[in-house]
Structure 1
Amino acid sequence: MDRKRRVEAAFSAAAATYDSAALAQARAADLLAAALPALPPTARVLELGCGTGLLTRRLLERLPTGASLLATDLSPAMVEATARLDDPRLTILAMDAERPAPGLGGFDLIASSLAAQWFDDLGATLTRLAGLLAPGGSLLLATLGSATFKEWRVAHAAQGLLSGVPDYPEADALAALLPGATVERHVFTQDYADARAFLAALDAIGARTPRPGHRPLTPGRLRRIMAGLGSPCAVTWDILLLSHTRSPA
């Protein structure tokens, strides 16, 4: 099974438990929703990586009554969860954000919260998504930055090991992937009882697929790393909010 299929399977398995553990994800969705641009009365909106609808609900609260929202996710189980939202403006579609369905385009807003860190090729996907915007349309995307889970990385390094956490970008590197984009950085910590609770929370949201090539730890090494995280522990979340607007016609 390739990595994308593993990611899909992990999130599908977590559809029933996601909302109970998605505290940082809810905070990221709030940050993105607060940054929404003004939209025309009949705005066409595309959401990528809708999950169980954390951002979807916030978008529906803020969109004009005449707007339409197409919410998509790689995981069919996540799409099914979001489909339970009752709003005539909402359409649901299972779709890989890196391979948009044929015929899509002309969106006044494309929004995505904490899905882009799973993309295989972030730069190419950002360029492709910018091409789906209508003139004057906006791309607003929240993803994870380089300081995310730094405590978990440090606990690995203390044992001479590299963690399975991917190499997330710095803010300036993310902005450079899409000409004209700006990036805001929001850093906060999330408290956990201990490393076991931290890992359980990642399991509950389906976010335990490691970087490509990472080998699972032996039980002994894992115990030492978990002990190094401390009890209780605070773990960093580094949220990068990218904004890009297509030039008017």
Structure 2
Amino acid sequence: MTVATALPRLRPPDSPADWRQRVARAFSRAAPRYARLAVAQCALGEHLWSRLPARADAILDLGCGPGHWSARLAERYGERCAVAGLDLAPGMLEQARRRHGERIRWLCADAAALPLPDADLDLLFSNLALQWCPDLEAVLSELHRVLRPGGRALITTLAPGTLAEVSEAWSRPRRPAALLGFRDGARHASAARLAGFSHVDIEATSRCFHYPDLAAVMASIKGVGAQTARTGARLTRADLVRAARRYEALREPAGLPVTYRLLTLELTR
């Protein structure tokens, strides 16, 4: 981890197209090491597994990354179920194809413009992708469009308060980069109802993960692609030392804490 790239750069720029391009590049670069470092992301996805319906014939894994959940869904529902994995990052889809083959249909596209016909899916599964979408209303409208009547969207995303310890460690004497402005449950509920979903259920939970040092904390975020290149003042070695000292003040017996405020959405068309 270099000093100049120590903190994840997560705030979208003014241009949505530029933001999507930056996100795609960041996650493509992280793709080869994602499976090794995404411990928290995989653990949080388990919140959706118990909510899966008994049967589904057509499924989309939105923000599929290297295909972990796509493959598990294909195994769970069997050969009669058509499973597609969609991601904005070509590098993630290359890893998905290499790991899981062509049994799953891999799509490179934006969540706000899904390359699927109307009423095409029984189930939409999405683990920790929605927070990267700048236009929440457009995405949820698309999800409603591609689901069949009675179809369900099962989604995890992040709420305000996520990575609070990281923000605290880097907040003084100056904040070299801003964390993504996470949206709360009320905002998601409003957008889902506006999109036309007949049933909206949102559960808020918290999970705390622990890491041995600041380098491991930042690898768990930056190392899975949760940062985008941005111009600005370079961090100095003194900045890094101060951040490490502030984080050490938060240390718990299990290690340095990283808290995720999780929203689990279950939306029925």
Q: State the TM bucket, normalised to the shorter chain.
A: 0.7 to 0.9
- 1:190 is aligned to 209
Whether 1:223 and 2:236 are equivalent positions in the alignment is no
User: Alpha-carbon deviations, 1:184-215, whole Å to 9, x = none?
Assistant: 123111111122221122232111238xx895
Query: In the TM superposition, what are the counterparts of 1:98-247 in structure 2 within 5 Å?
Result: 98-101=112-115, 103=117, 105-159=119-173, 161=175, 163-179=177-193, 180-209=199-228, 215-216=232-233, 218-219=235-236, 220-230=238-248, 232-246=255-269
Q: Which has the higher mean CA deviation after the structures are superposed, 112-121 or 57-66?
A: 57-66
**Contact 1:29/1:58 (8 A) holds in 2:** no
TM-score normalised per structure 2: 0.81
Residue 63 (structure 1) shift: 1.6
Query: In the TM superposition, what are the counterparts of 1:20-35 in structure 2 within 5 Å?
Result: 20-35=36-51
For structure 2, list consecutive stretches of 5 or more residues without a partner in the other structure: 1-16, 194-198
Q: Report SS of the residue matched to 1:134.
A: strand
TM-score normalised per structure 1: 0.87
Of 74, 80, 93, the match for 2:107: 93
Q: Report SS of the residue matched to 2:160.
A: coil
Residue 158 (structure 1) shift: 4.4
Identity of aligned residues (%): 31
User: Alpha-carbon deviations, 1:56-96, whole Å to 9, x = none?
Assistant: 122123224411011111111111211231473x2111111
**Distance change >3 Å, CA 104–CA 15, structure 1 → 2:** farther
User: Alpha-carbon deviations, 1:150-177, whole Å to 9, x = none?
Assistant: 1112223443548521111222332222
User: 1 CA distance for matches of 2:186 and 2:53?
Assistant: 22
**Contact 1:111/1:139 (8 A) holds in 2:** yes
- Letter matched to residue 70 of structure 1: A
Q: Report SS of the residue matched to 2:220.
A: helix
**Contact 1:164/1:214 (8 A) holds in 2:** no
Whether 1:8 and 2:27 are equivalent positions in the alignment is no
Q: Report SS of the residue matched to 1:177.
A: helix
**Distance change >3 Å, CA 24–CA 155, structure 1 → 2:** same
Residue 104 (structure 1) shift: 5.6
- Letter matched to residue 133 of structure 1: L
Aligned length: 241
- Letter matched to residue 67 of structure 2: G
Higher relative contact order (CA closer than 8 Å, sequence separation 6+): 2
- Letter matched to residue 263 of structure 2: L
For structure 1, list consecutive stretches of 5 or more residues without a partner in the other structure: none
User: 1 CA distance for matches of 2:116 and 2:102?
Assistant: 25
User: 2 CA distance for matches of 1:215 and 1:122?
Assistant: 28
- Letter matched to residue 85 of structure 1: H
Q: Report SS of the residue matched to 1:164.
A: coil
* RMSD over equivalenced CA pairs, Å: 2.3
